[in-house]
């Protein structure tokens, strides 16, 4: 509670939060309500309710990590395909410019493409 010196009234601190923060707080409280049976039996129910909210936050974080883990492998494959396509495009451009005819020129062209792909 915040004490307003002019009106000598206490203002609820939650009213001073941004609308987004208020919504986040309400979501945390709602999530913690799942554990009401447990925290209501605690010696300090307010602290136990905070711990319950932390449990809910941890569960959400674990779900996000699991989802990201499932996306990581396909994403790497997509990036790999992108690299293959880039290499093909660079090879085509270099071969059009140099027009290698013998093995020595072809080898130099491959080295040039390798060098360009490192950028």
11 and 1 Cβ atoms separated by less than 8 Å: yes
Rounded to two decimals, what is the model's pTM? Answer: 0.56
Provide the residue-wise pLDDT of the chain in tens; the chain has 119 residues.
454 556 666 789 999 999 999 999 999 999 999 999 999 999 999 999 999 999 999 999 999 999 988 888 887 887 777 888 888 888 888 888 888 888 988 888 888 888 888 87
pLDDT at position 3 is: 47
d(CA 66, CA 70) in angstroms, rounded, equals 6
55 and 26 Cβ atoms separated by less than 8 Å: no
Residue ranges covered by each domain of the chain? 2-117
């Amino acid at each position: 509670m915040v004490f307003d010196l002019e009106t000598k009234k206490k203002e609820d601190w939650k009213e001073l939060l941004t609308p987004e923060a208020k919504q986040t707080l309400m979501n945390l409280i709602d999530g913690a309500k799942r554990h009401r049976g447990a925290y209501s039996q605690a010696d300090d129910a307010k602290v136990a309710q905070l711990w319950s909210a932390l449990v809910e936050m941890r569960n959400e974080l674990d779900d996000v990590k699991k989802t990201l883990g499932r996306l990581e492998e396909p994403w790497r494959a997509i990036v790999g395909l992108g690299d293959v396509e880039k290499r093909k495009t660079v090879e085509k451009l270099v071969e059009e410019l140099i027009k290698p005819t013998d093995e020595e020129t072809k080898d130099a062209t491959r080295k040039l493409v390798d060098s360009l792909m490192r950028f």
